[in-house]
Amino acid sequence: MKRDKPFTSSRTGRVAAAKGMAFSKSPVLAVRLPDWRSRVVLFVLFAAFAALGLRALWLQAMSTQFLQKQGKSRYERTLELPATRGKIMDRHGQVLASSLPVKAVWAIPEDVLASPPEKLAELARLLEMPESELRKKLDSDRTFVYLKRQVEMDVIAKIDKLKISGLDTRKEYKRFYPQGEVMTHMVGFTNVEDVGQEGMELAQQKSLVGVPGSRKVIKDRLGRIVEDLGLSREPHDGKDLTLSVDSKLQYIAFTSIKNAVEKFNAKAGAAVVLDVHTGEVLALANYPTYNPNDRKKLTGEQLRNRVITDTYEPGSIIKPFTVALGLEKKIITPNTVFDTGSGRITVGGRTMRDSHPKPMLTTSGIIQKSSNVGVVKISQMIPPQEMWELYTKLGYGQAPRFGFPGPAAGRVRPWKSWRPVEYANMSFGHGLSVSLLQMARSYMVFARNGDMIPLSFVKLNEEPVGQQIISPKTAAQVRTMLESVVSPEGTASRAQVAGYRVGGKTGTAQKIVDGRYSHTSYVGSFVGIAPMSKPRFVIAVMVDDPKGAVHTGGGVAAPTFADLAASALRADNIPPDSSVTDIIIPEMPLEESVDGA
């Protein structure tokens, strides 16, 4: 019987073909590449890993500070924690300036511009700016831009409800002034960076501003805080400041000077009230003025603090000092009689005149009638150097140092350069210039029995030590003369105050226009003491360029003083020192002499 052949597959055939040969020796698996190629590949891989290791070592060990710095510059931020600016208060603790919390609105322009148009329109409305202006601010290559600073919190709440991507806020403070325009020239104001710009806000900037703190955080690309790294520095709030000013007296002074400017159609006006005992400035008012809470339409005229920064020729207000020097040197007495003739005197080719000539006047009469001729005759008995020394002691021609920004020094030329006609003019207030505050301070000499003390804009706890300028006797004699000026027979009959004895001196000076003394523009002023029995206030008033029939100090400044003094005395509860309650003003009251240099 014939056997069948066994089945043989192709796989079995391959196995049979490879029988007797090692698998690794199969020709199919034979490597035809040279051995050195594999070694090179192995070396390259090893070198690459070594390079990566060295690079990692370099970055982690040698470049740590650099990398950290680069990371911080991209994501770490230092947030300023603003310090609250100190409050400003009057002498009785009433707040005159305080800081309210507000926020600054800032944006990432690219993200905000991607918002729906209706949201951008609403944002512009809330920020009180045209939409075109908003888009202009956002049309920037910067990654951060302020849209508006010092936005009220109620507006911020409405902005937050819009949920605009890329929009954020920053905490800050806005200064608020409760008394507005009444107190602004005393207190001043700050700018959007909370830096004092005027008044006591500027003078006491370092004390008020405090020290801001800081906190470090990590922010993502969109400006969101993702990690708080902790407080770096604690903020320290500014110190509160108590001023010398009295809010009641300040309002009285402001109202009085505002009414005077409007009544006499004047260009401007100013008033200051000083405490005789301490030298504290109790009131300082200017008109025109401005509202520090809304300075959008602020002008230079409104900004000017005329009491301190403006100088003018004082005119007849200076005459009591010429007389005081004569009394102090015992050259004259209050009863010395002078021949004032026809009310004319010529010095150096120039004639000085009296408005109401009297043939004979005593020293007291010269002050009461404000005689130019009489004062010139007294000055001719005094060496010019002694007059210059008195003016210097009074602070004329020197920048005051009382801690208030921008005080004017005024002008008094060296006595050696005075010609006879110039000296004669200076004796009745022409040819030199002073500020209203300098003039008020110099009258403290008469109110304080001959000594002078520094002025202060902050509240004092004790009276300062004064410097004796003239003797108490001379000061008392001049006070008597000043009281006679405020009488029906004097040039300041309109300055009388019912129930109180007051005294002072009027002044009318011609303004210099285009290098010449004008016959149509004047400065009317008055400096007075109240009450005379026990002086409490020195009050100075200036009305600049009044227009109309009345333009003299006796006509415009004296009645303003009377209104101010009457209200101030009653507001301070000072008891009356006179039984005279009926004010007698002549139908044709005397006016002081007016003359230019």
Residues marked as catalytic: 316
H or E element in which residue 259 lies: helix 247-263
E strand residue ranges, 306-454: 311-312, 337-339, 344-347, 350-353, 360-362, 434-435, 451-452
246 DSSP 8-state letter: -
Q: What is the largest CA-CA distance in the chain?
A: 186
C-alpha closest to that of 202 among 210, 214, 213, 194: 194
C-alpha closest to that of 330 among 393, 386, 406: 386
**Strand pairing category for 241-242 and 88-89:** parallel
How far is C-alpha 110 from the chain's CA centre? 39
In total, the chain counts a number of residues equal to: 597
Rounded to whole angstroms, the Cα distance separating 147 from 161 reads 17
The structure tokens 């309210």 sit at 100
Side chain identity at 198, as an amino acid letter?
E
Q: Report the 10 Å Cβ neighbour count for 215.
A: 18
| Contacts of residue 492, Cβ cutoff 8 Å, sequence gap at least 6 | 485, 486, 504, 505, 506, 526, 528, 553, 554, 558
Rounded to whole angstroms, the Cα distance separating 332 from 52 reads 105
Question: What is the chain's alpha carbon radius of gyration, rounded to the nearest angstrom?
Answer: 42
C-alpha closest to that of 114 among 129, 133, 130, 135: 135
How far is C-alpha 167 from the chain's CA centre? 34
Does residue 467 contact residue 350 with C-beta atoms inside 8 Å? no
Task: Please count the helices (runs of H) and the strands (runs of E) in the chain.
Answer: 22, 21
**Strand pairing category for 434-435 and 311-312:** antiparallel
C-alpha closest to that of 541 among 288, 371, 286: 286
